[in-house]
């Protein structure tokens, strides 16, 4: 797994800027959330819907890393690649153990 850079030092990475732009554009944000949900459903646990997302930073390969909290309680990490495709990385708990970066402040990542 590539070591992510902190979000504060990677704000100028194009993929991460895409994440912030998606927050500002509701229709685009809805499409991004659908892509996140599909990736999680396919390779993680079932995700009934997206409760919230949080940008985590940019990996050394340029992928934007995003924490995704599902409405049914699952917490996952997905990657947005340079070509804007989305892939599943891991449950938040495994990501936090491997990197020391917390997916969601104040929320335990038990799934």
Q: What is the pLDDT along the chain (111 residues), one digit of tens a residue?
A: 555 544 443 434 445 555 555 555 566 778 888 999 999 999 878 999 999 999 999 999 999 999 999 999 999 999 999 998 999 999 999 999 999 999 998 765 555
pLDDT at 8: 40
pLDDT at 22: 52
Assessment of whether the complete model's pTM goes beyond 0.95:
no
Per-residue H/E/C for the chain: CCCEEEHHHCCCCHHHHHHHHHHHCHHHHHHHHHHHHHHHHHHCCCCCCEEEEEEEEEECCCCEEEEEEECCCCEEEEEECCCCCEEEEEEHHHHHHHHCCCCCCCCCCCC
pLDDT at 18: 56
């Amino acid at each position: 797994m590539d070591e992510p850079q902190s979000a504060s030092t990677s704000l100028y990475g194009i993929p991460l800027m895409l994440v912030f732009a998606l927050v500002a554009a509701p229709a685009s944000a809805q499409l991004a959330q659908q892509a996140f949900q599909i990736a999680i459903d396919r390779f993680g646990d079932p995700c009934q819907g997206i409760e919230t997302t949080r940008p985590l930073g940019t990996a050394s390969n340029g992928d934007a890393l995003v924490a995704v909290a599902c409405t049914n309680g699952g917490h996952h990490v997905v990657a947005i690649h340079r070509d804007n495709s989305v892939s599943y990385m891991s449950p938040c708990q495994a990501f936090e153990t491997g990197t020391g970066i917390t997916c969601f402040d104040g929320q335990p990542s038990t799934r």
